Structure 1
Amino acid sequence: MNRSQPTSVVPFDVKLMNITATVMFMGCLAACVMTVGWWLMRTPAFNIGRIVVEGELVHNNAVTLRANVAPVLKGNFFTVDLKAAQHAFEQVPWVREAQVRREYPNGLRVSLKEHVAEAFWGPETSTGLVNKAGEVFEANLGELDREGLPRLQGPEGSAPRVLQMYHSLAPALKPLHVGLDSLTLNARGSWDAVLDNDAQIELGGGTTEDVLQRVQRLVRTLPQITSQYQRSAADLASADLRYEDGYALRLKGVTTGSSAPASARPRR
């Protein structure tokens, strides 16, 4: 015959002592962790003491960058705000993008990309520039390392479109041996250009292909017209390409027109 074994019952005061001991142990452990953390965050050994700057720098140098940014960095290796550090580096003139990461035990490693200026942006009094991505940025124009940049203008947010149009039109004009000095997209969506011989060109509106076709027509037929008057493309003073089947132009010392009838109205 089987007899059931008596079940042992842990007294309440023993349970209470076990719980109390566990709570005290966890509290001591948490206090130790907090103490170690407090020490790590404040010990001088982890203060930011080294900033390594990488990247192809043309308008900045690592020494100047560190001197300008280090004073605004707050915290040590563990507490420094990497987003704030990134923002501080990207506020430096010519810096387009910064990536910042920690480097144990007390350093930061920064990878930088600078803007590469493709054109001036805005009116003559503006200090704006456009980079290869069509982004507008401000910089000291005295630090430009390129000469002969064109000037582009347009409504706010149109810089990428204007830069793309410039890259389409500039090669098309090369057969005339004249350069594209400035290009403007006005509020009506029409394009105006100035060549490096100061000729004013009204390009009209439409798609990039529409405008390019009108410019190609000018390039193709202008030598025939200038030769009749013993002139060259360098003597072009102005041209209006907004006509349906031709264009009107003015040569220095001569005024004439192409195949557009006198009654034709230019397209806006």
Structure 2
Amino acid sequence: MAVSLPPDVRVMNATAVAVLALSGCVLLAAGAAWVTRQPKFAIASIRLEGDVSRNSVATVRANATPKLAGNYFTLDLRNTRSAFEAVPWVRHAVVHRVWPNRLVVRLEEHRPAAVWKGDEGNDRLVNSFGEIFEANLGDVDDDRLPEFHGPEEEAAQMLAMYRRLVPLLGPLDATPVRISLSGRGSWDVELDTGAQLALGRGSDEEVLARTARFVRTVTQVAARQRRAWDHADLRHADGYALRLKGPVTPAANGATALN
């Protein structure tokens, strides 16, 4: 036959169990805190992997390490990643802990695709993802990068347009060196020949279709006039206007419209 304990005894027993459990938790927490403070868990080495062509390993460490705080257990990985991504030319960093006191950081560097021309001389760079980033332009060893000017939020679209224009203009033996996009969405292009193209507004497909029509016919049009051209206005719905070089003659009046 089971004996029922008085209520006050049951309360005392439950309280004793709770106190013991709480004491155990406190001891465990204190032990864990003591362990995490041990010098053996301080970050002793950082191994860098991935892209380090723009920065030496020593430079990356010198820029990022002073911003790190904590040991193997307490280091904030998000802040650590941000510290490495703040290093010039670093686009992305992935950080992993390695027991008991090491870090492995994989870096992805920006790959410059264009120069972003600022309104007040604040030139920056555009990477291969169409993102604008700060860097020393003197570190760029490719002096053939095109120049972009337009709304910053359209940098990716401008890079995409550039990549489509390069093969499209190939038959003219010309390459875009400057691309401008106005706030109203109008495109202007300067070629490495010095010629200017006013591509106008519209969807990318509409602009590219007008450009393709121009490329197919401009050589024949200019040949009939026996003069080279230095400016083309493609903003017309049914053709384009061409400004020709050299003196104006009755046979070649300096502008040709193609229907």
Q: TM-score, normalised by structure 1?
A: 0.85
CA contact (8 A) 1:166 1:183 kept: yes
Opposite residue 154 of structure 2, the aligned amino acid is: S
Unmatched segments (≥5 aa) in structure 2: 249-253
The answer to whether the aligner puts 1:119 opposite 2:114 as a matched pair is yes
The answer to whether the aligner puts 1:178 opposite 2:171 as a matched pair is no
Once the two structures are superposed, residues 68-106 of structure 1 have per-residue CA deviations (whole angstroms, 9 ceiling, x without a partner) of 211111111101111100111111111111111211101
Find the partner of 2:103 among 99, 108, 112: 108
In 2: Cα distance, 1:60 partner to 1:23 partner: 57
CA contact (8 A) 2:129 2:156 kept: yes
Find the partner of 2:67 among 66, 72, 88: 72
In 1: Cα distance, 2:246 partner to 2:130 partner: 39
Shift of 1:230: 4.3
Once the two structures are superposed, residues 87-133 of structure 1 have per-residue CA deviations (whole angstroms, 9 ceiling, x without a partner) of 11111111111111211101111111111111111348233211222
Shift of 1:11: 6.3
Shift of 1:19: 4.3
Find the partner of 2:26 among 31, 49, 54: 31
The answer to whether the aligner puts 1:250 opposite 2:243 as a matched pair is yes
Shift of 1:14: 6.1
Unmatched segments (≥5 aa) in structure 1: 262-268
**Stretch moving more, 144-153 or 252-261:** 252-261
Pair 237,259 (structure 1): closer, same or farther in 2 beyond 3 Å: closer
Pair 19,189 (structure 1): closer, same or farther in 2 beyond 3 Å: closer
Opposite residue 164 of structure 1, the aligned amino acid is: A
**RMSD between aligned alpha carbons?**
2.3
Aligned residue pairs, count: 253
Residue equivalent to 2:39:
44
In 2: Cα distance, 1:123 partner to 1:174 partner: 28
CA contact (8 A) 1:127 1:139 kept: no
The answer to whether the aligner puts 1:239 opposite 2:235 as a matched pair is no
In 1: Cα distance, 2:118 partner to 2:169 partner: 23
In 2: Cα distance, 1:179 partner to 1:14 partner: 92
Runs of 4+ displaced beyond 2 Å: 7-28, 122-127, 225-231, 254-261
Alignment partner of 2:152: what SS? coil
In 2: Cα distance, 1:242 partner to 1:21 partner: 87
Opposite residue 251 of structure 1, the aligned amino acid is: L
Pair 213,8 (structure 1): closer, same or farther in 2 beyond 3 Å: closer
Shift of 1:260: 5.0
Question: Which has the greater radius of gyration?
Answer: 1
The answer to whether the aligner puts 1:89 opposite 2:87 as a matched pair is no
CA contact (8 A) 2:72 2:100 kept: yes
Residue equivalent to 2:57:
62
CA contact (8 A) 1:244 1:260 kept: no
